[in-house]
Amino acid sequence: MRQNLIHRLSRLSPSIRTWLTDRLPVETIDNHLKNKMVPRHRHTLWYYLGGLTAFFLMVQILTGVLLMLYYKPTIDGAHQSVAYIINEVPFGWLIRSVHSWAANLMIAALLLHMVSVFYLQAYRPPRELMWMSGFILLFLILGFGFTGYLLPWDDVAFYATQIGTEVPKSIPFIGPTLVGLLRGGEDIGEATIPRMYTLHVFVLPIATLFLIGVHLFLNQYYGSSKPIKTPLKGEDIPFYPNFLLRDFRIWGFAFILLLCLSILMPWGLGEEADLLRPAPEGVKPEWYFIPMYQTLSILPSQILMIDGETFLNIVLMIGGLIVFLLPFLDRKAKNEERNKFILITGTIIIVYCIGITISAYM
Amino acid sequence: MHALRMFIILMILSSFSSLQTGSHTIDSVPYESNVVVISAGEPFNNETKIEFPSFSYRVTLLLYFVIPVLILVFFIMIKIRQLDHTVNDDPPNSGLSS
């Protein structure tokens, strides 16, 4: 017999069970949990990526809260407090290292999750809102990476953020205001750290948790999407508890990978940022911003009588809007048909991003 | 099964307690001194000196974490197998499949 919530409650003592069932809609919750089924087929592996991203996010929240106990978001205290966390706080080096590595692994898992949803065309009706909420979540998570990168206030973080905040400057109409808001002035300085910190620990988490709630609710409501024209392997399995335990298994392995990286290759800290020092050679933003940064460096200064940066920003905004509205544009997917044009175009963009990222590091 | 659960919990607790009170106390962690750490593999030279515990300490620490997690994963896999058998054993039209 399948172990459901009611079955689990039956293990409790009768008095506690009665107390709980009198106060909580146990049957409703149980029925809701039972609603979600996971299909089994040769692409089932991709279903783990969403849960994996959620796992890394939980690690981020936990380690982030611990780091907040010692971190000082001021120009004088930021670098020193991070050095103090690494050198003096018991297991501080480990917590900070786990936070940094998990951030990268979370973004990698999220990008792979988006790619898998794209290739399985899981964005097709009725899951348009899931795709759109996921797309906004991607930007929020990248925002975490961007705002968190400056917080240690070392050389690399300072110059990479300076380069990173230059890019939106050329967005028509709102660019300079946006950059001014982020930096708290013309250049990165004393006002920038508190702004980035507030975004990183307050604004972005609230927005992210709200959207994750929406995303998970929709996921629970619609269940997992079946890929187009893919034969199923037997009956669907219940998400709770069968697939959830499979998720936990993957989380266990992910946790081991995270610990191996964090302990054997602890995240370092560069020299404290000096506003007066010229930027050293070879500074690059984080790997997930490399495609945009590298594309900018190879573009000519003027394209179609428009400034190169402005041109790239316009292309990115139009491209982003197309991806955001993909469920409505892909009409073939609505009819359970594979859209080769969209799949090939997406593949070219993905290959370009991977290729240009590799070339930047070589 | 209950004894195994207790074993896992004790193992995790003992891992932490040995780090605190055993050969590697926090105060006597064998730090590697004067380690020049280049942030996140960036190409240019940084001079900031920060200290990480020695490699042997870190490997020990890694094992303290990894072994209990692997045991936990092992039991999760047993549970998955048990649950899958119960799903397969359910008669048709039992309400399990949508």
Every domain of chain B and the residues it spans: 2-86
Task: Name the amino acid, one letter, at B79.
Answer: K
pLDDT score of A291: 92
CB contact under 8 A, B58 and A236: no
Peptide bond into A25 cis (omega under 30): no
CA pair distance B84, A233, nearest whole angstrom: 14
Measured between alpha carbons, how far is residue A362 from residues A156, A282, B43, B46 in Å?
A: 18, 12, 11, 21
**Nearest residue to A249 (alpha-carbon basis) of B35, B73, B20, B81:** B73
Pinpoint the alpha helices (H) of A167-243: 175-183, 192-198, 204-222
CA pair distance B57, B19, nearest whole angstrom: 10
Task: Say which residue, A36 or A245, is predicted with more confidence.
Answer: A245
ipTM value: 0.83
Nearest to B73 among A2, A235, A249 (CB): A249
Measured between alpha carbons, how far is residue A337 from residues A27, A41, A227, A341, A342 in Å?
A: 39, 18, 10, 12, 12
Structure-block tokens of residue A279: 């930027």
Structure-block tokens of residue A272: 């404290």
Question: Which of A122-136, A167-181, A198-212, A336-350 has the lowest average pLDDT?
Answer: A167-181
Say if residue A34's pLDDT is above 60: yes
Tell whether B26 lies on the interface with A, counting CB pairs under 8 A: yes
Tell whether A264 lies on the interface with B, counting CB pairs under 8 A: yes
Say if residue A116's pLDDT is above 80: yes
Burial of A42 (0-12, 13-18, 19+ CB in 10 A): exposed
Min distance A283 CA to chain B CA atoms (Å): 7
CB contact under 8 A, A100 and B26: no
Q: Kind of pairing, strands A306-307 and A302-303?
A: antiparallel
pLDDT score of A106: 97
CA pair distance A46, A117, nearest whole angstrom: 8
CA pair distance A326, A333, nearest whole angstrom: 10
Domains of chain A by residue range: 36-289
Say if residues B58 and A94 touch (Cβ distance below 8 Å).
Answer: no
Q: Which residue has the tokens 């106390």?
A: B25
**Nearest residue to B40 (alpha-carbon basis) of A73, A54, A288, A65:** A288
Residue range A99-120: average pLDDT?
A: 97
* B residues 38..77 contacting A (CB < 8 A): 38-40, 42-44, 46-48, 50-53, 58-59, 61-62, 65-66, 69-70, 72-73, 76-77
For B31, the 3-state DSSP assignment is: strand
CA pair distance B90, A2, nearest whole angstrom: 8
pLDDT score of B87: 61
- pLDDT tens-digit map of A79-101: 999 999 999 999 999 999 999 99
* CA B61 distance to own-chain centroid: 9
CA pair distance A187, A124, nearest whole angstrom: 44
CB contact under 8 A, B50 and A256: no
Tell whether A227 lies on the interface with B, counting CB pairs under 8 A: no
A267 CB neighbours in chain B (<8 A) are 39-40
CA pair distance A89, A98, nearest whole angstrom: 15
CB contact under 8 A, B86 and A271: no
A241 CB neighbours in chain B (<8 A) are 83
pLDDT score of B6: 67
Does domain A36-289 correspond to CATH entry 1.10.760.10? Answer: no
Quickly state the pLDDT bin for A56 (edges 50, 70, 90): very high
pLDDT score of A281: 73
Say if residue A276's pLDDT is above 50: yes
pLDDT score of B39: 47
Say if residue B71's pLDDT is above 80: yes
% of residues, chain B, pLDDT over 90: 31
Task: Say which residue, A73 or A279, is predicted with more confidence.
Answer: A73
Q: Closest chain A residue to B84 measured between Cα atoms?
A: A242
pLDDT score of B88: 59
Q: Closest chain B residue to A88 measured between Cα atoms?
A: B51
CB contact under 8 A, A87 and B50: yes
CA pair distance A165, A182, nearest whole angstrom: 8
- pLDDT tens-digit map of B8-49: 666 666 655 555 544 444 445 555 544 444 444 444 444 557
A94 CB neighbours in chain B (<8 A) are 61
Say if residues A346 and A136 touch (Cβ distance below 8 Å).
Answer: no
Phi, psi at A276, each rounded to 5°: -90, -15
For B93, the 3-state DSSP assignment is: coil
**Nearest residue to A25 (alpha-carbon basis) of A6, A11, A12:** A6
